[in-house]
Chains A and B, each alone.
Chain A
Amino acid sequence: MIRVDRRKLRRSLVCWLALAPLVVVVLFPFAVMLLTAVKPADEVFVYPARWLPSHFRWANFADMWVATRFGVALQNSLIISISSTVLAIAVSIPAAYALARYHFGGKGFYRQFLLVTQMLSPILLVIGLFRLAAMIHVAGGNMVDKHISVIVAYAAFNIAFAVWMMSSYFATIPPDLEESAWLEGCGRARAIFKVFLPLALPAMVVTAIFTFINGWNEFAVVYTLIRSDANKTLTVQITDLVAGRYTVEWHQVMAATVLATLPVSVLFAWLQRYLVKGLALGAVK
């Protein structure tokens, strides 16, 4: 039998009241997005507008899928986000391990370097990034409008985050475990693979998912480097439906944002407490 705690109930009421304005503002765009996405087109552009649709028109999603070439953009987003995540995590695991386990000259320098990479955001470098992509010639063409250039750029810009997150988690794994495996005649490398990595796996998965979300949500780099419709990702494709247009099919745009956003939001909501923990750990280190 649950006994309702009177004081806690009163406190809950106060807390929710205090949060109410923010909650409303946070949920407002989600409501706009979801309700517009299922509105029949003739109800979107009617004055005075109304919040609720007369009926839910799910066909908006099917129309949008064809009209915006959503499938191609989705595929591009997946390719770029997954590949850049794999690359970023692959180079960040050893670095995070080194930061968590070794004391060495230059550790401070490397940390500062990571901080600087965070400061030099992609948008500041975008002019130079574009020239870099235009300069590298492989197999008769340059790297502009190629997925690989976006993938490498994303991976590089995510290293700081990935190393920071993973090293803070790695540091919480007691080194004694490896040391004892090591004393039992297990090689260094073997100890890492047999003892350390299995324990570090959750941290790596969580970091990978957030790196994936970063890639999925990024705009400036892909907007600059990718030129052709066939190679555009969702963020760029959907922006193109809106930017510099006189007539915008808002119900389709909202349907597209729902599909591009909701899966990632759910993933994020599910995992956000790990992010909270990881960043906090990294912060006090």
Chain B
Amino acid sequence: MPRTVFGRPLTPWLLILPSFALALFIICYPLYNIVFQSAHEVSRFGLIKGFCGLDNFRKVFADPIFIASLWRTLWWTLGVVGGTVLVSVPVALTLNQDFYGRGVARVIVMLPWSVSLTMTAIVWRWAFNDEYGMVNVSLQRLGLISSPVHWLATSTTAFPVMILVGILVSVPFTVTIFLGGLSSVPVDIYEAARIDGASAWFQFRKLTLPLLRPFINMAIVLNVIYVFNSFPIIWVMTQGGPSNSTHILVTYLYERGFRLGKPGEAAAVSLVMLAMLLCFTAIYLKIQPREGSQA
């Protein structure tokens, strides 16, 4: 191929080097440091007091809050990613239609992406305020509730509410991926199907869904990584409260490391999370059918 005339074999590596070096520096040292801290007793101010083997891990796994957070993280990830995909497929299919105001609709659907998670969480926290929040006000006006619901102060409602916020902020990115997938679907196969008298549901199940499958897979993988690591929503809306009932691993980690002054244990939590992500990726790579050069 003519591409090979584009220079010596070393050139691409020189071009890649700056970005590679920078990313390696910012990722490798902290990673090494986390492994190091997780195996040492570390004071509140980061002073290393001595090697302690797996003590930090033992302490963390003996903490019922950690175990609860671990399970809650799975529910959080499953809930947000599952909900996001379920919402995004019909939304993407709708936005892929030719209709009046489609440009406006696309912009509106994309809007939550443009706002930082932190700001979104702050606004929702205010919206869910017990007495003055607009959620309770609106629901009361509509006659759906008779007295204000303490959304964020009750553990049974706080977590589902935050899952819904998580879904809302993940939809734009996911719809984006699906729209990219739908734009690559040839139109004529639908025409052929319609001529053959296939119903809309049949077309969706037998044509759209299989063609969308690789994009759904990609959306699931990326969303699992993002959602699993998602920090601001829970940190800003409840800080893991009331009484530690809404912690997920990231908020637990942050509280251990920077509020309760236990960096060693926080480092251990980081490594547990990392192991979970690696497991997930390994499983995904295993069950994903090989598809040529797909990245």
State in angstroms the CA–CA spacing of A32 and B115 once bound together. Answer: 14
Shortest Cβ distance from residue B150 to the other chain A in the assembled complex, whole angstroms:
14
- Binary flags per residue of B229-240, CB closer than 8 Å to A gives 1, else 0: 101100110010
Cross-chain pairs A/B with CB under 8 angstroms, 22 sampled: A19-B94, A19-B108, A25-B168, A28-B134, A32-B127, A48-B140, A91-B18, A94-B14, A95-B19, A105-B9, A119-B225, A127-B263, A134-B46, A156-B27, A159-B23, A175-B6, A217-B116, A217-B119, A265-B114, A269-B107, A276-B176, A279-B176
Contact partner of A254 (CB less than 8 A), chosen from B111, B126, B168, B222, is: B126
Which residues of A146-204 are within 8 A (CB) of B?
A: 152-153, 155-157, 159-160, 163, 175, 179, 188
Known: A152-B26, A235-B116, A238-B122. A219 touches B231 (CB 8 A): yes
A113-B20, A235-B119, A265-B115 as given contacts; A48 in contact with B30, CB under 8 Å: no
**How many angstroms from the CA of A87 to the CA of B15 in the assembled complex?**
15
Known contacts: A104-B13, A276-B179. The answer to whether A120 contacts B236 by CB under 8 A is no
Q: Tell me whether A127 and B270 are in contact in the complex, defined as CB-CB below 8 angstroms, given that A91-B22, A102-B3 are known contacts.
A: yes
Q: Give the complex CA separation of A275 and B90 in angstroms.
A: 21
Instruction: Kindly state whether residue A68 has any CB partner on chain B within 8 Å.
Output: no
Q: Please measure, in the bound complex, the distance between the C-alpha atom of A157 and the C-alpha atom of B295, giving whole angstroms.
A: 19
Chain B 207-264 residues near chain A, CB threshold 8 A: 215, 218, 222, 225-226, 229, 231-232, 235-236, 239, 250, 253-254, 257-258, 263
Query: Residues of A contacting B113 with CB < 8 Å?
Result: 268, 272
Name B1-55 residues within 8 Å CB distance of A.
1-7, 9, 11-16, 18-20, 22-23, 25-27, 29-34, 37, 46
From B32, B171, B183, B236, A243 is in contact (CB under 8 Å) with B236
- What residues of A have a CB within 8 angstroms of the CB of B9 in the complex? 104-105
Q: Nearest residue in B to A97 (C-beta to C-beta)?
A: B15
Minimum Cβ distance to chain A for residue B120 (Å): 7
For residue A49, which residues in chain B have a CB less than 8 angstroms away from its CB?
131-134, 137
Measured between beta carbons, the chain B residues less than 8 angstroms from A163 are 19
Question: B196 within 8 Å of A by Cβ?
Answer: no
- Tell me which residues across on chain A come within 8 A of B109, comparing CB atoms: 19, 22-23, 26
- A47 with B131: CB separation less than 8 A: yes
B201 touches A (CB below 8 Å):
no
A47 near B91 with CB under 8 A, answer: no
Residues of A within 8 A of B (CB): 8-9, 11-12, 15-16, 18-19, 22-23, 25-33, 36, 44-51, 87, 90-92, 94-95, 97-99, 101-107, 110-111, 113-115, 117-121, 123-132, 134, 152-153, 155-157, 159-160, 163, 175, 179, 188, 213, 216-220, 224, 235, 238-239, 242-244, 248, 250, 253-254, 257, 260-261, 264-265, 267-269, 272-273, 275-277, 279-281, 283-285
| Minimum-distance CB pairs A-B, first 3 | A280-B180, A128-B30, A217-B116
Main secondary structure on A side of the interface with B: helix
Instruction: State in angstroms the CA–CA spacing of A247 and B215 once bound together.
Output: 46
Q: Which of B93-146 contact A (CB under 8 A)?
A: 94-95, 97-102, 105-120, 122-127, 129, 131-134, 137-138, 140
Q: Give the chain B neighbours of A250 by CB distance below 8 A.
A: 126, 129, 132
Interface, chain B (partner A; CB < 8 A):
1-7, 9, 11-16, 18-20, 22-23, 25-27, 29-34, 37, 46, 87, 90-91, 94-95, 97-102, 105-120, 122-127, 129, 131-134, 137-138, 140, 168, 171, 176-177, 179-181, 183-184, 215, 218, 222, 225-226, 229, 231-232, 235-236, 239, 250, 253-254, 257-258, 263, 266-267, 270, 273-274, 277, 281, 294-295
* A-B contact sample (6 more), CB < 8 A, given A8-B98, A127-B253, A188-B7: A46-B132, A102-B7, A114-B23, A121-B226, A175-B6, A257-B123
Is B31's CB under 8 angstroms from A120's CB?
yes
Instruction: Report the bound CA distance from A23 to B107 in whole Å.
Output: 10
Cβ contact within 8 Å between B31 and A125: yes
Contact B25 A254 (CB under 8 A): no
